[in-house]
Homo-oligomer: A and B are copies of this chain.
Amino acid sequence: MTKTPRLTKQDWLRAGFIALVERGPSGLKAEPLARQLKTTKGSFYWHFRDVSQYRGAMLAYWQQSAFSNIVEHLEREPSVPKRLRLLGQIATGAAWQGYNGAPIEPAIRAWSRSDAQVAQVVLQIDEHRLRYLETMLTEIGISNPEFARLIYAGLIGLEDLSSRDGQAHAGPMGTLIDLILTLE
């Protein structure tokens, strides 16, 4: 038996995201999480003032990575069409996946329905991503912002569906992108 090492803030956040995906927001409680980590809440209350602040830390962590994770990835492709096509595949990649392999974004969006602070951040991230998509599309002559919204809604909806029936969303997403790129 390896002597279990001491825990860091990150360990707690990591456990939080797993719990959020597997049990929903009601899984974000100090004592159950401590049991999961085979420790006690003494550790929890050392790293965090209270549960509320812990959730805040999780939210801040996600907010920080939610936008840059995707965009920095896309920026490596030179042309806009290539970037758009990459969108369908990136959702299968590591940037969207949680620590346990399941995607965290649907869990965050679900969380946002019972927490106004989370809702606020999700709204902000959505606006940010939508603006980014719009400017990309206008660069190739598609100025109607409805198409950016369609692409983004497709991502959200397909990821939701995939997380339920297990089907990949790269296929349909690519089809959608191709469909819109024919308007170019």
Report which A residues bind B (CB closer than 8 A).
21, 23-27, 106-107, 109-111, 113-115, 119, 122-123, 126-127, 144, 146-147, 149-150, 152-158, 160-161, 164-165, 167, 169, 171-172, 175-176, 179-180
Contact = CB atoms under 8 A, between A and B. Distances in A.
3 A-B pairs with least C-beta separation: A24-B114, A153-B157, A157-B157
Could you tell me the dominant secondary structure of chain A's interface residues? helix
A119 B149 contact: no
A126 to B, nearest CB: 6
Nearest to A20: B113
Contact of A149 (B106, B111, B172): B172
A49 to B, nearest CB: 22
Q: Assembly of this chain: how many copies?
A: 2
Contact of A146 (B25, B114, B155, B175): B175
A156 B146 contact: no
A168 to B, nearest CB: 11
A157 B164 contact: no
Contact of A161 (B156, B171, B179): B156
7 contacts: A24-B115, A25-B26, A119-B164, A122-B164, A126-B161, A146-B175, A153-B153
A114 B113 CA distance: 12
Given A150-B172, A157-B157, 4 more contacts: A27-B114, A127-B165, A149-B161, A154-B154
Contacts of A107: 113
A9 B97 CA distance: 42
A146 B170 CA distance: 11
B24 A113 contact: yes
Contacts of A110: 109-111, 113-114
